A and B are shown apart, each in its own frame.
Chain A
């Protein structure tokens, strides 16, 4: 082999080995610093600083931070983490860099406000975010919707929710739904039909898969709520008529002329306990349940997430 050929062989081998080593090391390094891209969000004293150091490339930086936000949330969601400390700073930075990045506000409304493990548990920051959005986008009715949404679902402040929906009505081009919601808030605020309306609309009007999934989970819980309430009243009526508890679901169904054996949204029949309680078979399969749980039931610390949007 000539000297030149020898050099070529050695250099090629070196190239191949180093490339492989680099890739392996990179994977290692990524494992050591799992949240590297979002860590610096914690160091930022003010989002305005980031804007200044972006040297005018705000839009691109906003996109980068938005991508980081989604990844951050998705990863923690997937790993069933309980806290989302960086979510608020990330969303704040994103919207400071680009106040018109609407998906960020939607995301904030859905996931900043709810308590862990479903969200970051920071309704106040969520409200601040929506107000900031409204300030910079006065012609966007959806932001009012989001804000009202937070007051309704998390803070249960129906009066404020109604006020906000009313404000939203004023915006040109606003969805007539807002007027309906405003009225409902003022009236039967806590009722199931309103909640269903709210969540269905959220599902319909959003493109973000996390937000839609979240909405579906809520709708499922509402369905269970309704089913359990109805079935429970049937049990009570049975008891008033016969003076005893029904022996089984089929007896109940036959006696109360229920169309068929009632099943939950997953297709499993509700069960009737010896004490006469209606319960779902697998409460762990549902999030946000308010009824149909066995006594003393605690939802799992790490909720299961299914994708019901398909």
Chain B
């Protein structure tokens, strides 16, 4: 069973003073997310990511199309007991404490009394908020709020979790924590669907990604496939500032930074380069196969759509 099957979900808003002009926020979207994978939903701001998420949550009603979540119709209220949602830049009832908030959410999610107490404590511990659990949320920092958000999303043990821009506004430490958490969720057998415009995060975490731009799906696939080494280049890093003459012969591009040199040369020249360095008794630091970055793939897809759009208009 797929975790999520999006079958032609579409959203058109009527804008203008008389609400007569149609504005398409999402063209008919067809997408399947498998159970147990971390799926990244990528796109620039305003691409339709949040609209899609909101439709799946039942917060916004689609103009057309349906979806199935965990095998059920997405409008089935029972589905919601199995999913968790963290909206972008969340805001919670600031007059409540973290403990009260999680308890309240537990109540509405139908977590029974005894379980709830235990679960809330567990969650607070997991996201590192046990010390401040009695503090009113109005005093929380952004990072702390994000942690509360994650806690409430997984409190009721959902099989499927939706995050909308989970890393936004966090400092590097916070981002690392969230990334680790998402990894953990996958280890626990949950499916994670998250939207972001930060590609490095997606590259590091996701099994598969979809790229969306101006309401249209531009590309879907496993990260590994999308970023496979098509270029066939390697990156060699060595210590010192010396560049052996043979390197230049091999057609390497070299950059000197501080006390290291970084060179990019064709894959088949890899062994020759290593020999050259050994001969010169230069200390090798690293050899890494260069992959097409997700960023490049992303940009290419967007540009493609620009030209397509250009042709169309």
Indicate if A touches B (C-beta under 8 A). Answer: yes
Q: Which of A's residues lie within 8 Å of B, judged by CB?
A: 2-4
CA distance A304 to B235 in the complex (A): 114
- Can you name the residue of chain B whose Cβ is closest to the Cβ of A5? B75
Interface status of B77 (Cβ within 8 A of chain A): yes
Q: Bits for B130-164, please: 1 = Cβ < 8 Å to A, else 0.
A: 00000000000000000000000000000000000
CB distance from B65 to the nearest CB of A (A): 15
- Can you name the residue of chain B whose Cβ is closest to the Cβ of A2? B75
CB distance from B226 to the nearest CB of A (A): 38
CA distance A2 to B75 in the complex (A): 8
CB distance from B81 to the nearest CB of A (A): 14
CA distance A3 to B74 in the complex (A): 12
CB neighbours of B73 from chain A (8 A) = 2
Size of the chain B interface, CB-CB below 8 angstroms: 4
CA distance A3 to B75 in the complex (A): 8
CB neighbours of B76 from chain A (8 A) = 3
Within 8 A of A (CB), among B261-295: none
CB neighbours of B77 from chain A (8 A) = 3
Number of A-B contacts (CB under 8 A): 6
Within 8 A of A (CB), among B57-79: 73, 75-77
Q: Which 6 A-B pairs have the closest CB atoms?
A: A3-B77, A2-B75, A4-B75, A3-B75, A3-B76, A2-B73
CB distance from B137 to the nearest CB of A (A): 31
Q: Bits for B70-109, please: 1 = Cβ < 8 Å to A, else 0.
A: 0001011100000000000000000000000000000000
CB neighbours of A2 from chain B (8 A) = 73, 75
CA distance A3 to B73 in the complex (A): 11
CB neighbours of A3 from chain B (8 A) = 75-77
CB neighbours of B75 from chain A (8 A) = 2-4
CA distance A4 to B73 in the complex (A): 12
CA distance A196 to B167 in the complex (A): 97
CB distance from B73 to the nearest CB of A (A): 8
- Can you name the residue of chain B whose Cβ is closest to the Cβ of A4? B75
- Can you name the residue of chain A whose Cβ is closest to the Cβ of B73? A2
CA distance A2 to B73 in the complex (A): 10
CB distance from A6 to the nearest CB of B (A): 11
CB distance from B153 to the nearest CB of A (A): 23
CA distance A284 to B73 in the complex (A): 81
Within 8 A of A (CB), among B14-51: none
CB neighbours of A4 from chain B (8 A) = 75
CA distance A3 to B80 in the complex (A): 13
CA distance A175 to B48 in the complex (A): 82
CA distance A3 to B79 in the complex (A): 12
- Can you name the residue of chain B whose Cβ is closest to the Cβ of A3? B77
CA distance A15 to B76 in the complex (A): 25
- Can you name the residue of chain A whose Cβ is closest to the Cβ of B61? A4
CB distance from A18 to the nearest CB of B (A): 25
CA distance A265 to B272 in the complex (A): 136
CA distance A202 to B77 in the complex (A): 76
CB distance from A4 to the nearest CB of B (A): 6
CA distance A2 to B77 in the complex (A): 10
CA distance A112 to B153 in the complex (A): 76
CA distance A130 to B76 in the complex (A): 75
A sample of 6 inter-chain contacts (CB < 8 A) reads: A2-B73, A2-B75, A3-B75, A3-B76, A3-B77, A4-B75
CA distance A24 to B270 in the complex (A): 92
CB distance from A124 to the nearest CB of B (A): 65
CA distance A2 to B74 in the complex (A): 11
CB distance from A233 to the nearest CB of B (A): 84
CB distance from A105 to the nearest CB of B (A): 52
CA distance A21 to B30 in the complex (A): 49
CA distance A162 to B49 in the complex (A): 92
CB distance from A5 to the nearest CB of B (A): 10
CB distance from B252 to the nearest CB of A (A): 64
Q: Bits for B115-142, please: 1 = Cβ < 8 Å to A, else 0.
A: 0000000000000000000000000000
CA distance A46 to B214 in the complex (A): 72
CB distance from A1 to the nearest CB of B (A): 12
CA distance A3 to B76 in the complex (A): 7
CB distance from B300 to the nearest CB of A (A): 42
CB distance from B90 to the nearest CB of A (A): 26
CB distance from B94 to the nearest CB of A (A): 30
CB distance from B60 to the nearest CB of A (A): 14
CB distance from B155 to the nearest CB of A (A): 23
CA distance A141 to B77 in the complex (A): 78
CB distance from B110 to the nearest CB of A (A): 16
CA distance A85 to B73 in the complex (A): 70
CA distance A4 to B76 in the complex (A): 9
CA distance A146 to B175 in the complex (A): 90
CB distance from A9 to the nearest CB of B (A): 16
- Can you name the residue of chain A whose Cβ is closest to the Cβ of B77? A3
CB distance from B26 to the nearest CB of A (A): 21
CB distance from B82 to the nearest CB of A (A): 16
CB distance from B180 to the nearest CB of A (A): 38
- Can you name the residue of chain A whose Cβ is closest to the Cβ of B76? A3
Within 8 A of A (CB), among B187-224: none
CA distance A190 to B43 in the complex (A): 102
CA distance A4 to B58 in the complex (A): 11
CA distance A141 to B79 in the complex (A): 83
